[in-house]
Structure 1
Protein backbone atom coordinates (compact mmCIF):
# COMPACT_ATOMS: atom_id res chain seq x y z
CA UNK A 1 0.00 0.00 0.00
CA UNK A 2 1.47 3.36 -1.09
CA UNK A 3 0.82 5.99 1.57
CA UNK A 4 1.14 9.75 1.75
CA UNK A 5 2.02 10.01 5.44
CA UNK A 6 1.45 13.74 5.76
CA UNK A 7 -1.28 15.94 4.31
CA UNK A 8 -4.00 18.28 5.51
CA UNK A 9 -7.66 19.13 5.01
CA UNK A 10 -9.41 22.30 6.10
CA UNK A 11 -12.41 24.49 5.56
CA UNK A 12 -10.67 27.82 5.36
CA UNK A 13 -11.42 30.34 8.07
CA UNK A 14 -9.48 33.61 8.21
CA UNK A 15 -9.31 33.60 12.01
CA UNK A 16 -8.71 29.89 12.65
CA UNK A 17 -6.20 29.68 9.82
CA UNK A 18 -4.41 32.97 10.48
CA UNK A 19 -1.09 31.21 9.84
CA UNK A 20 -2.04 31.22 6.14
CA UNK A 21 -0.85 34.76 5.45
CA UNK A 22 -1.60 36.84 2.38
CA UNK A 23 1.57 35.72 0.63
CA UNK A 24 0.01 32.25 0.74
CA UNK A 25 -3.13 33.28 -1.13
CA UNK A 26 -3.07 30.12 -3.24
CA UNK A 27 -4.05 28.06 -0.19
CA UNK A 28 -6.52 30.54 1.30
CA UNK A 29 -9.45 28.30 0.40
CA UNK A 30 -11.06 25.00 1.34
CA UNK A 31 -9.15 21.77 0.72
CA UNK A 32 -11.13 18.54 1.11
CA UNK A 33 -10.73 14.89 0.06
CA UNK A 34 -12.49 15.40 -3.27
CA UNK A 35 -9.75 17.88 -4.16
CA UNK A 36 -7.09 15.25 -3.56
CA UNK A 37 -8.56 11.93 -4.68
CA UNK A 38 -7.80 12.31 -8.40
CA UNK A 39 -4.27 13.50 -7.64
CA UNK A 40 -3.63 10.44 -5.48
CA UNK A 41 -4.92 8.13 -8.20
CA UNK A 42 -2.69 9.76 -10.80
CA UNK A 43 0.32 9.36 -8.49
CA UNK A 44 -0.61 5.77 -7.59
CA UNK A 45 -1.03 6.63 -3.90
CA UNK A 46 -3.53 4.37 -2.11
CA UNK A 47 -4.27 6.49 0.94
CA UNK A 48 -3.12 9.19 3.30
CA UNK A 49 -2.53 10.14 6.90
CA UNK A 50 -4.48 13.34 7.58
CA UNK A 51 -2.59 15.57 10.02
CA UNK A 52 -4.03 18.36 12.13
CA UNK A 53 -3.48 21.92 10.92
CA UNK A 54 -5.07 23.78 13.84
CA UNK A 55 -4.99 23.13 17.55
CA UNK A 56 -8.42 22.21 18.80
CA UNK A 57 -10.53 19.18 19.59
CA UNK A 58 -12.83 20.40 16.81
CA UNK A 59 -10.00 19.83 14.32
CA UNK A 60 -9.51 16.25 15.49
CA UNK A 61 -13.24 15.49 15.21
CA UNK A 62 -13.33 17.14 11.78
CA UNK A 63 -10.65 14.78 10.46
CA UNK A 64 -12.28 11.76 12.07
CA UNK A 65 -15.62 12.68 10.49
CA UNK A 66 -13.98 13.00 7.07
CA UNK A 67 -12.42 9.56 7.46
CA UNK A 68 -15.86 8.03 7.92
CA UNK A 69 -16.88 9.30 4.49
CA UNK A 70 -13.64 9.08 2.51
CA UNK A 71 -11.79 5.76 2.44
CA UNK A 72 -8.61 7.43 1.20
CA UNK A 73 -7.95 8.58 4.79
CA UNK A 74 -6.20 5.62 6.39
CA UNK A 75 -5.15 7.38 9.58
CA UNK A 76 -5.55 10.62 11.50
CA UNK A 77 -2.96 12.54 13.51
CA UNK A 78 -5.07 14.85 15.62
CA UNK A 79 -4.55 17.40 18.34
CA UNK A 80 -5.20 17.01 22.03
CA UNK A 81 -4.18 19.27 24.90
CA UNK A 82 -1.30 17.20 26.22
CA UNK A 83 -1.01 19.52 29.21
CA UNK A 84 -4.60 18.93 30.32
CA UNK A 85 -5.18 17.49 33.78
CA UNK A 86 -7.64 15.00 32.28
CA UNK A 87 -5.38 13.84 29.44
CA UNK A 88 -5.92 10.17 30.35
CA UNK A 89 -9.68 10.61 30.21
CA UNK A 90 -9.45 12.32 26.81
CA UNK A 91 -7.24 9.62 25.33
CA UNK A 92 -9.53 6.88 26.66
CA UNK A 93 -12.38 8.59 24.83
CA UNK A 94 -10.36 8.85 21.62
CA UNK A 95 -9.70 5.11 21.71
CA UNK A 96 -13.28 4.72 20.50
CA UNK A 97 -12.02 6.09 17.16
CA UNK A 98 -9.37 3.65 15.91
CA UNK A 99 -8.68 5.86 12.86
CA UNK A 100 -6.79 8.17 15.26
CA UNK A 101 -3.22 6.94 15.23
CA UNK A 102 -1.45 9.75 17.02
CA UNK A 103 -1.29 13.40 17.93
CA UNK A 104 0.72 16.52 17.22
CA UNK A 105 1.32 19.89 18.83
CA UNK A 106 2.67 22.75 16.71
CA UNK A 107 5.86 23.13 18.70
CA UNK A 108 7.36 25.26 15.92
CA UNK A 109 4.98 28.03 16.95
CA UNK A 110 6.17 28.02 20.57
CA UNK A 111 8.81 30.64 21.41
CA UNK A 112 9.94 28.76 24.51
CA UNK A 113 12.82 26.54 23.32
CA UNK A 114 12.06 24.13 26.16
CA UNK A 115 8.30 23.98 25.70
CA UNK A 116 8.36 20.27 24.95
CA UNK A 117 10.20 19.61 28.22
CA UNK A 118 7.60 21.25 30.45
CA UNK A 119 6.50 18.85 33.15
CA UNK A 120 2.86 19.12 32.09
CA UNK A 121 3.71 18.40 28.45
CA UNK A 122 5.94 15.47 29.37
CA UNK A 123 3.06 14.02 31.37
CA UNK A 124 1.03 14.16 28.17
CA UNK A 125 3.75 12.42 26.14
CA UNK A 126 3.86 9.62 28.70
CA UNK A 127 0.08 9.28 28.39
CA UNK A 128 0.48 8.83 24.62
CA UNK A 129 2.94 6.03 25.30
CA UNK A 130 0.54 4.42 27.75
CA UNK A 131 -2.28 4.34 25.20
CA UNK A 132 -0.13 3.41 22.22
CA UNK A 133 -0.39 6.66 20.27
CA UNK A 134 2.32 8.12 18.04
CA UNK A 135 3.63 11.67 18.31
CA UNK A 136 4.60 13.92 15.37
CA UNK A 137 7.47 16.32 16.06
CA UNK A 138 7.02 19.70 14.32
CA UNK A 139 9.92 21.89 15.36
CA UNK A 140 12.31 24.69 14.44
CA UNK A 141 16.06 24.95 15.17
CA UNK A 142 15.63 26.57 18.59
CA UNK A 143 13.84 23.38 19.68
CA UNK A 144 16.63 21.00 18.65
CA UNK A 145 18.19 20.61 22.10
CA UNK A 146 14.91 20.08 23.93
CA UNK A 147 13.66 17.66 21.27
CA UNK A 148 16.68 15.44 21.78
CA UNK A 149 16.13 15.56 25.53
CA UNK A 150 12.45 14.71 25.11
CA UNK A 151 13.15 11.73 22.89
CA UNK A 152 15.83 10.48 25.28
CA UNK A 153 13.41 10.74 28.21
CA UNK A 154 10.71 8.72 26.41
CA UNK A 155 12.39 5.65 24.88
CA UNK A 156 9.13 3.69 24.55
CA UNK A 157 7.28 6.46 22.69
CA UNK A 158 7.00 6.29 18.89
CA UNK A 159 8.07 9.65 17.44
CA UNK A 160 8.21 10.83 13.85
CA UNK A 161 9.95 14.02 12.74
CA UNK A 162 7.83 16.11 10.40
CA UNK A 163 9.42 17.80 7.37
CA UNK A 164 12.96 16.80 8.37
CA UNK A 165 12.91 19.64 10.96
CA UNK A 166 12.55 22.19 8.17
CA UNK A 167 16.13 22.84 7.01
CA UNK A 168 16.70 26.33 5.59
CA UNK A 169 17.05 25.18 1.99
CA UNK A 170 16.36 28.60 0.49
CA UNK A 171 19.40 30.16 2.16
CA UNK A 172 21.48 26.98 2.12
CA UNK A 173 21.52 27.35 5.89
CA UNK A 174 22.18 24.63 8.43
CA UNK A 175 21.85 26.14 11.96
CA UNK A 176 23.13 22.83 13.31
CA UNK A 177 20.63 20.87 11.20
CA UNK A 178 23.03 18.17 9.97
CA UNK A 179 24.31 17.53 13.49
CA UNK A 180 20.78 17.44 14.88
CA UNK A 181 19.57 14.88 12.32
CA UNK A 182 22.59 12.69 13.08
CA UNK A 183 21.91 12.82 16.82
CA UNK A 184 18.14 12.35 16.55
CA UNK A 185 18.49 9.33 14.29
CA UNK A 186 20.49 7.53 17.00
CA UNK A 187 17.20 7.03 18.85
CA UNK A 188 15.58 3.99 17.25
CA UNK A 189 12.10 5.03 18.39
CA UNK A 190 12.22 8.00 15.99
CA UNK A 191 11.29 7.94 12.30
CA UNK A 192 11.38 10.80 9.80
CA UNK A 193 9.04 12.09 7.12
CA UNK A 194 10.77 13.28 3.98
CA UNK A 195 8.21 15.98 3.40
CA UNK A 196 7.63 19.71 3.29
CA UNK A 197 10.88 20.45 1.48
CA UNK A 198 9.67 22.64 -1.39
CA UNK A 199 8.23 25.21 0.98
CA UNK A 200 11.59 25.54 2.72
CA UNK A 201 13.24 26.28 -0.63
CA UNK A 202 12.81 29.35 -2.85
CA UNK A 203 9.13 28.99 -3.79
CA UNK A 204 9.61 30.43 -7.27
CA UNK A 205 13.14 29.39 -8.17
CA UNK A 206 13.92 26.05 -6.53
CA UNK A 207 15.86 23.40 -8.43
CA UNK A 208 15.74 19.64 -7.93
CA UNK A 209 19.39 19.58 -6.91
CA UNK A 210 18.69 22.04 -4.05
CA UNK A 211 17.37 19.12 -1.99
CA UNK A 212 20.27 16.71 -2.54
CA UNK A 213 22.32 17.24 0.67
CA UNK A 214 19.26 17.28 2.94
CA UNK A 215 17.60 14.16 1.57
CA UNK A 216 20.88 12.26 1.30
CA UNK A 217 21.84 13.05 4.89
CA UNK A 218 18.42 12.07 6.22
CA UNK A 219 18.52 8.71 4.44
CA UNK A 220 22.07 8.10 5.65
CA UNK A 221 21.17 8.93 9.25
CA UNK A 222 17.81 7.19 9.62
CA UNK A 223 18.29 4.35 7.15
CA UNK A 224 15.70 3.12 4.67
CA UNK A 225 13.62 1.47 7.41
CA UNK A 226 12.76 4.73 9.26
CA UNK A 227 11.91 7.20 6.49
CA UNK A 228 8.51 7.78 4.89
CA UNK A 229 6.95 9.85 2.14
CA UNK A 230 4.78 12.83 3.00
CA UNK A 231 3.54 15.46 0.57
CA UNK A 232 2.43 18.21 2.96
CA UNK A 233 -0.41 18.87 0.51
CA UNK A 234 -1.94 21.43 0.15
CA UNK A 235 0.76 23.57 1.82
CA UNK A 236 3.21 22.33 -0.82
CA UNK A 237 1.15 24.10 -3.48
CA UNK A 238 2.88 27.31 -2.41
CA UNK A 239 5.92 26.08 -4.30
CA UNK A 240 5.12 22.97 -6.36
CA UNK A 241 2.45 20.62 -7.62
CA UNK A 242 1.90 17.18 -6.13
CA UNK A 243 3.42 15.66 -9.27
CA UNK A 244 6.53 17.81 -8.96
CA UNK A 245 6.93 16.72 -5.35
CA UNK A 246 6.80 13.08 -6.43
CA UNK A 247 9.33 13.74 -9.20
CA UNK A 248 11.81 15.31 -6.75
CA UNK A 249 11.68 12.24 -4.54
CA UNK A 250 11.79 9.77 -7.43
CA UNK A 251 15.12 11.27 -8.47
CA UNK A 252 16.64 11.32 -5.01
CA UNK A 253 15.37 7.88 -3.98
CA UNK A 254 16.90 6.17 -7.00
CA UNK A 255 19.82 4.60 -5.05
CA UNK A 256 17.42 2.63 -2.83
CA UNK A 257 16.63 -1.00 -3.57
CA UNK A 258 13.15 -2.05 -4.68
CA UNK A 259 12.38 -3.32 -1.18
CA UNK A 260 13.61 -0.09 0.39
CA UNK A 261 11.52 1.96 -2.04
CA UNK A 262 8.42 -0.03 -1.13
CA UNK A 263 9.13 0.75 2.52
CA UNK A 264 9.62 4.45 1.84
CA UNK A 265 6.50 4.85 -0.30
CA UNK A 266 4.21 3.13 2.16
CA UNK A 267 5.52 0.19 4.13
CA UNK A 268 7.21 2.23 6.84
CA UNK A 269 4.20 4.54 7.30
CA UNK A 270 1.84 1.57 7.40
CA UNK A 271 3.90 -0.03 10.14
CA UNK A 272 4.54 3.16 12.11
CA UNK A 273 0.91 4.29 12.17
CA UNK A 274 -0.55 0.75 12.20
CA UNK A 275 -2.65 1.45 9.11
CA UNK A 276 -5.22 -0.99 7.78
Structure 2
Protein backbone atom coordinates (compact mmCIF):
# COMPACT_ATOMS: atom_id res chain seq x y z
CA UNK A 1 0.00 0.00 0.00
CA UNK A 2 1.14 3.56 -0.68
CA UNK A 3 2.56 5.46 2.27
CA UNK A 4 -0.06 7.83 3.70
CA UNK A 5 0.36 11.58 3.73
CA UNK A 6 -1.77 14.37 5.13
CA UNK A 7 -4.60 15.62 2.94
CA UNK A 8 -6.35 18.96 2.75
CA UNK A 9 -10.10 18.95 3.00
CA UNK A 10 -12.46 16.06 3.60
CA UNK A 11 -11.95 12.44 2.60
CA UNK A 12 -15.22 10.72 1.76
CA UNK A 13 -14.36 7.12 2.60
CA UNK A 14 -17.46 5.51 1.15
CA UNK A 15 -19.43 6.11 -2.03
CA UNK A 16 -20.62 4.20 -5.08
CA UNK A 17 -21.20 4.66 -8.79
CA UNK A 18 -23.04 2.48 -11.29
CA UNK A 19 -24.05 2.34 -14.93
CA UNK A 20 -27.23 0.35 -15.53
CA UNK A 21 -26.36 -0.03 -19.20
CA UNK A 22 -23.23 -1.96 -18.17
CA UNK A 23 -24.97 -4.20 -15.64
CA UNK A 24 -28.06 -4.30 -13.48
CA UNK A 25 -27.99 -3.42 -9.81
CA UNK A 26 -30.35 -6.18 -8.77
CA UNK A 27 -30.71 -4.83 -5.23
CA UNK A 28 -32.51 -1.71 -6.49
CA UNK A 29 -36.06 -3.02 -6.33
CA UNK A 30 -39.45 -1.65 -5.30
CA UNK A 31 -40.89 1.86 -5.24
CA UNK A 32 -38.85 3.04 -2.24
CA UNK A 33 -35.57 2.55 -4.14
CA UNK A 34 -36.90 3.81 -7.46
CA UNK A 35 -34.94 7.12 -7.23
CA UNK A 36 -31.73 5.06 -7.43
CA UNK A 37 -32.72 3.26 -10.63
CA UNK A 38 -30.64 5.48 -12.91
CA UNK A 39 -26.97 5.92 -13.70
CA UNK A 40 -24.76 7.63 -11.10
CA UNK A 41 -21.30 8.62 -12.29
CA UNK A 42 -18.23 10.41 -10.99
CA UNK A 43 -19.29 13.35 -13.16
CA UNK A 44 -22.49 13.53 -11.08
CA UNK A 45 -20.63 13.22 -7.79
CA UNK A 46 -17.70 15.56 -8.31
CA UNK A 47 -19.45 18.95 -8.20
CA UNK A 48 -21.41 17.94 -5.08
CA UNK A 49 -18.27 16.68 -3.37
CA UNK A 50 -16.05 19.61 -4.32
CA UNK A 51 -18.72 22.09 -3.20
CA UNK A 52 -18.44 20.90 0.41
CA UNK A 53 -14.66 20.61 0.48
CA UNK A 54 -14.13 16.93 -0.34
CA UNK A 55 -10.57 16.41 -1.61
CA UNK A 56 -10.60 12.64 -2.11
CA UNK A 57 -12.92 9.65 -2.01
CA UNK A 58 -12.99 5.87 -1.72
CA UNK A 59 -15.11 4.11 -4.33
CA UNK A 60 -16.78 0.98 -2.92
CA UNK A 61 -18.15 -2.12 -4.65
CA UNK A 62 -21.87 -2.59 -5.15
CA UNK A 63 -22.36 -6.01 -6.76
CA UNK A 64 -20.61 -9.37 -6.46
CA UNK A 65 -19.36 -9.72 -10.02
CA UNK A 66 -15.65 -9.87 -10.93
CA UNK A 67 -15.89 -7.34 -13.76
CA UNK A 68 -16.85 -4.41 -11.54
CA UNK A 69 -13.55 -4.04 -9.67
CA UNK A 70 -11.28 -3.63 -12.74
CA UNK A 71 -13.76 -1.04 -14.05
CA UNK A 72 -13.56 0.84 -10.75
CA UNK A 73 -9.76 0.71 -10.81
CA UNK A 74 -9.77 2.27 -14.28
CA UNK A 75 -12.12 5.00 -13.03
CA UNK A 76 -9.78 5.72 -10.13
CA UNK A 77 -6.70 5.86 -12.36
CA UNK A 78 -8.41 8.44 -14.57
CA UNK A 79 -9.89 10.53 -11.74
CA UNK A 80 -8.52 13.39 -9.65
CA UNK A 81 -11.12 12.61 -6.98
CA UNK A 82 -11.02 8.86 -6.32
CA UNK A 83 -7.98 7.96 -4.21
CA UNK A 84 -8.86 4.34 -3.47
CA UNK A 85 -11.12 1.45 -4.44
CA UNK A 86 -12.68 -1.20 -2.21
CA UNK A 87 -13.44 -3.98 -4.66
CA UNK A 88 -14.76 -7.53 -4.67
CA UNK A 89 -13.38 -10.97 -5.26
CA UNK A 90 -14.67 -14.37 -4.27
CA UNK A 91 -13.09 -15.00 -0.88
CA UNK A 92 -14.13 -18.65 -0.97
CA UNK A 93 -12.41 -19.42 -4.28
CA UNK A 94 -9.37 -21.73 -4.08
CA UNK A 95 -7.39 -19.26 -6.21
CA UNK A 96 -8.30 -16.14 -4.21
CA UNK A 97 -4.63 -15.16 -3.84
CA UNK A 98 -4.15 -15.32 -7.61
CA UNK A 99 -7.35 -13.31 -8.15
CA UNK A 100 -6.06 -10.58 -5.84
CA UNK A 101 -2.73 -10.55 -7.68
CA UNK A 102 -4.55 -10.13 -10.99
CA UNK A 103 -6.47 -7.17 -9.63
CA UNK A 104 -3.25 -5.55 -8.40
CA UNK A 105 -1.79 -6.06 -11.89
CA UNK A 106 -4.74 -4.37 -13.62
CA UNK A 107 -4.61 -0.85 -14.99
CA UNK A 108 -5.14 1.24 -11.86
CA UNK A 109 -4.35 -1.71 -9.59
CA UNK A 110 -2.37 0.53 -7.25
CA UNK A 111 -5.68 2.12 -6.26
CA UNK A 112 -7.02 -1.15 -4.81
CA UNK A 113 -7.06 -0.58 -1.06
CA UNK A 114 -9.60 -3.11 0.19
CA UNK A 115 -12.06 -5.91 -0.49
CA UNK A 116 -15.73 -6.17 0.43
CA UNK A 117 -18.44 -8.81 0.14
CA UNK A 118 -22.18 -8.31 0.64
CA UNK A 119 -22.19 -10.25 3.90
CA UNK A 120 -25.50 -8.60 4.80
CA UNK A 121 -27.13 -10.74 2.10
CA UNK A 122 -25.71 -14.03 3.39
CA UNK A 123 -28.33 -16.18 5.19
CA UNK A 124 -25.64 -17.71 7.42
CA UNK A 125 -25.07 -15.28 10.30
CA UNK A 126 -21.65 -16.89 10.84
CA UNK A 127 -20.53 -16.69 7.21
CA UNK A 128 -17.48 -14.63 8.15
CA UNK A 129 -16.02 -17.41 10.30
CA UNK A 130 -16.44 -20.24 7.83
CA UNK A 131 -13.04 -21.87 7.21
CA UNK A 132 -13.05 -21.03 3.49
CA UNK A 133 -13.92 -17.39 4.20
CA UNK A 134 -11.23 -17.07 6.88
CA UNK A 135 -8.71 -18.47 4.39
CA UNK A 136 -9.79 -15.82 1.87
CA UNK A 137 -9.57 -13.07 4.47
CA UNK A 138 -6.05 -14.19 5.34
CA UNK A 139 -5.14 -13.82 1.65
CA UNK A 140 -6.49 -10.25 1.73
CA UNK A 141 -4.23 -9.49 4.68
CA UNK A 142 -1.22 -11.07 2.97
CA UNK A 143 -1.33 -8.58 0.08
CA UNK A 144 -1.69 -5.59 2.42
CA UNK A 145 -5.35 -4.80 1.78
CA UNK A 146 -8.07 -4.11 4.33
CA UNK A 147 -11.50 -5.72 4.54
CA UNK A 148 -14.73 -3.71 4.61
CA UNK A 149 -17.56 -5.25 6.64
CA UNK A 150 -21.08 -4.64 5.38
CA UNK A 151 -23.13 -6.52 7.94
CA UNK A 152 -26.41 -6.33 9.77
CA UNK A 153 -26.51 -6.16 13.58
CA UNK A 154 -27.05 -9.91 14.07
CA UNK A 155 -23.83 -10.57 12.12
CA UNK A 156 -21.64 -8.36 14.34
CA UNK A 157 -20.62 -11.19 16.73
CA UNK A 158 -19.21 -13.23 13.83
CA UNK A 159 -17.45 -10.11 12.53
CA UNK A 160 -15.76 -9.66 15.92
CA UNK A 161 -14.79 -13.33 15.98
CA UNK A 162 -13.24 -13.09 12.51
CA UNK A 163 -11.30 -9.97 13.51
CA UNK A 164 -10.04 -11.70 16.63
CA UNK A 165 -8.86 -14.69 14.59
CA UNK A 166 -7.06 -12.49 12.04
CA UNK A 167 -5.24 -9.76 13.99
CA UNK A 168 -3.03 -9.08 10.96
CA UNK A 169 -6.05 -7.88 8.92
CA UNK A 170 -7.72 -4.48 9.40
CA UNK A 171 -11.53 -4.73 9.38
CA UNK A 172 -13.52 -1.60 8.50
CA UNK A 173 -17.14 -1.61 9.68
CA UNK A 174 -19.36 0.08 7.11
CA UNK A 175 -22.41 2.10 8.19
CA UNK A 176 -21.86 1.40 11.93
CA UNK A 177 -23.12 -2.14 11.31
CA UNK A 178 -26.54 -0.83 10.23
CA UNK A 179 -28.04 -0.06 13.65
CA UNK A 180 -31.85 0.04 14.02
CA UNK A 181 -32.11 3.83 13.93
CA UNK A 182 -35.73 3.86 12.72
CA UNK A 183 -36.89 1.93 15.80
CA UNK A 184 -34.66 3.85 18.20
CA UNK A 185 -33.28 0.62 19.67
CA UNK A 186 -29.66 0.64 20.84
CA UNK A 187 -29.37 -2.89 22.21
CA UNK A 188 -27.91 -5.41 21.52
CA UNK A 189 -26.29 -3.48 18.65
CA UNK A 190 -24.34 -1.20 21.02
CA UNK A 191 -22.86 -4.07 23.03
CA UNK A 192 -21.87 -5.97 19.88
CA UNK A 193 -20.27 -2.93 18.25
CA UNK A 194 -18.27 -2.28 21.43
CA UNK A 195 -17.10 -5.91 21.34
CA UNK A 196 -15.84 -5.36 17.81
CA UNK A 197 -14.26 -2.02 18.71
CA UNK A 198 -12.33 -3.62 21.58
CA UNK A 199 -10.15 -5.30 18.94
CA UNK A 200 -7.31 -2.99 17.83
CA UNK A 201 -7.49 -4.11 14.17
CA UNK A 202 -10.97 -2.64 13.67
CA UNK A 203 -12.12 0.72 12.28
CA UNK A 204 -15.62 2.13 11.74
CA UNK A 205 -17.23 4.35 9.10
CA UNK A 206 -19.56 7.12 10.18
CA UNK A 207 -21.75 6.47 7.18
CA UNK A 208 -25.18 5.24 6.17
CA UNK A 209 -27.04 6.61 9.19
CA UNK A 210 -29.51 8.80 7.34
CA UNK A 211 -30.93 5.86 5.39
CA UNK A 212 -31.23 3.72 8.52
CA UNK A 213 -33.59 6.39 9.84
CA UNK A 214 -37.07 7.00 8.43
CA UNK A 215 -35.86 8.58 5.15
CA UNK A 216 -37.63 11.83 6.05
CA UNK A 217 -34.56 13.45 7.45
CA UNK A 218 -34.32 16.81 9.16
CA UNK A 219 -32.58 16.42 12.52
CA UNK A 220 -29.59 14.73 14.07
CA UNK A 221 -31.42 14.05 17.33
CA UNK A 222 -32.29 10.44 16.46
CA UNK A 223 -28.80 9.75 15.10
CA UNK A 224 -26.84 11.12 18.05
CA UNK A 225 -26.90 8.03 20.30
CA UNK A 226 -25.53 5.84 17.50
CA UNK A 227 -22.78 8.26 16.53
CA UNK A 228 -21.86 8.75 20.18
CA UNK A 229 -21.64 4.98 20.68
CA UNK A 230 -19.09 4.49 17.91
CA UNK A 231 -17.19 7.66 18.82
CA UNK A 232 -16.77 6.40 22.36
CA UNK A 233 -16.06 2.81 21.30
CA UNK A 234 -13.59 3.39 18.46
CA UNK A 235 -12.39 6.92 19.21
CA UNK A 236 -11.74 9.52 16.49
CA UNK A 237 -8.52 7.79 15.44
CA UNK A 238 -10.49 4.73 14.30
CA UNK A 239 -13.57 6.48 12.88
CA UNK A 240 -13.90 7.83 9.34
CA UNK A 241 -16.58 9.77 7.48
CA UNK A 242 -18.36 8.29 4.47
CA UNK A 243 -21.27 9.75 2.52
CA UNK A 244 -22.74 6.52 1.10
CA UNK A 245 -23.62 8.55 -2.01
CA UNK A 246 -25.83 8.05 -4.00
CA UNK A 247 -27.78 5.82 -1.58
CA UNK A 248 -27.87 8.71 0.88
CA UNK A 249 -29.98 10.66 -1.62
CA UNK A 250 -32.98 8.60 -0.53
CA UNK A 251 -32.95 10.62 2.69
CA UNK A 252 -30.62 13.62 2.34
CA UNK A 253 -28.48 15.59 -0.07
CA UNK A 254 -24.69 15.16 -0.16
CA UNK A 255 -24.24 18.53 1.55
CA UNK A 256 -26.74 17.56 4.26
CA UNK A 257 -24.92 14.28 4.92
CA UNK A 258 -21.63 16.14 5.39
CA UNK A 259 -23.17 18.78 7.65
CA UNK A 260 -24.95 16.09 9.67
CA UNK A 261 -21.67 14.26 10.27
CA UNK A 262 -20.10 17.54 11.32
CA UNK A 263 -22.92 18.16 13.79
CA UNK A 264 -22.62 14.63 15.17
CA UNK A 265 -18.91 15.20 15.83
CA UNK A 266 -19.19 18.78 17.08
CA UNK A 267 -17.92 17.82 20.54
CA UNK A 268 -14.53 16.85 19.14
CA UNK A 269 -11.54 19.17 19.07
CA UNK A 270 -10.05 20.20 15.68
CA UNK A 271 -7.40 17.45 15.68
CA UNK A 272 -9.98 14.80 16.44
CA UNK A 273 -12.32 16.10 13.74
CA UNK A 274 -9.43 15.96 11.26
CA UNK A 275 -9.05 12.28 12.11
CA UNK A 276 -12.72 11.54 11.41
CA UNK A 277 -12.89 13.60 8.21
CA UNK A 278 -9.49 12.73 6.73
CA UNK A 279 -6.78 11.23 8.90
CA UNK A 280 -8.32 7.85 9.73
CA UNK A 281 -9.23 7.11 6.11
CA UNK A 282 -5.82 8.21 4.83
CA UNK A 283 -4.01 6.03 7.34
CA UNK A 284 -6.28 2.98 7.15
CA UNK A 285 -6.45 2.80 3.36
CA UNK A 286 -2.99 4.23 2.71
CA UNK A 287 -4.40 6.95 0.46
CA UNK A 288 -2.61 9.68 -1.44
CA UNK A 289 -4.42 12.71 -2.78
CA UNK A 290 -4.21 14.59 -6.08
CA UNK A 291 -1.40 14.29 -8.59
CA UNK A 292 -1.62 12.87 -12.06
CA UNK A 293 -2.56 9.21 -12.49
CA UNK A 294 0.39 6.94 -13.18
CA UNK A 295 0.79 6.30 -16.88
CA UNK A 296 0.20 2.71 -17.91
CA UNK A 297 -0.10 1.00 -21.24
CA UNK A 298 -3.71 -0.18 -21.30
CA UNK A 299 -6.51 -1.35 -19.02
CA UNK A 300 -6.76 -5.11 -18.47
CA UNK A 301 -9.51 -6.94 -20.31
Q: Say yes or no: does 1:230 pair with 2:242.
A: yes
Q: State the distance in 2 between where 1:15 and 1:173 align.
A: 37
Mapping of residues 188-267 of structure 1, within 5 Å: 188-205=200-217, 207-267=219-279
State whether structure 2 residue 105 is matched by structure 1 residue 105: no
Listed as ranges, the gaps of 5+ residues in structure 1 are: none
**Contact 2:116 2:148 (C-alpha < 8 Å) held by counterparts:** yes
Contact 1:8 1:233 in 2 (8 A): yes
Which of 166, 179, 189 aligns to 2:191? It is 179
Q: Structure 1 residues 9-18 or 78-87, which shifts more?
A: 9-18
The 2-side partners of 1:141 and 1:261 are apart by: 26
Equivalent residue number for residue 129 of structure 1 = 141
What is the alpha-carbon root mean square deviation over aligned residues? 1.3
Q: After TM superposition, where is structure 1 displaced by more than 4 Å over at least 4 residues in a row?
A: none
| Structure 1 residue 9 corresponds to structure 2 residue 21 | no
Q: Which residue of 2 aligns with 1:268?
A: 280
Aligned positions, number: 276
Q: Secondary structure at the match of 2:168?
A: coil
* Matching of residue 115 in structure 1 with residue 127 in structure 2: yes
After TM superposition, the structure 1 = structure 2 runs for residues 40-189 of structure 1, keeping only pairs within 5 Å, are: 40-96=49-105, 97-189=109-201
Q: CA deviation at 1:175?
A: 4.6
What is the CA deviation profile of residues 108-157 of structure 1, one whole-angstrom value per residue up to 9, with x for unaligned ones? 00011111111111100000111111000010122122111111100110
Provide the rounded CA distance (Å) in 1 between the counterparts of 2:197 and 2:76. Answer: 32
* TM-score for both structures, normalised by structure 2: 0.89
Farther off after superposition, 254-263 or 228-237 = 254-263
Counterpart position of 1:19: 27
* Shift of residue 174, structure 1, vs aligned partner: 3.1
User: TM-score if structure 1 supplies the norm length?
Assistant: 0.97
Match of 2:291 in 1: none
Offset, 1:206: 5.2
Which one has more relative contact order, counting CA pairs under 8 Å at least 6 apart?
Answer: 2
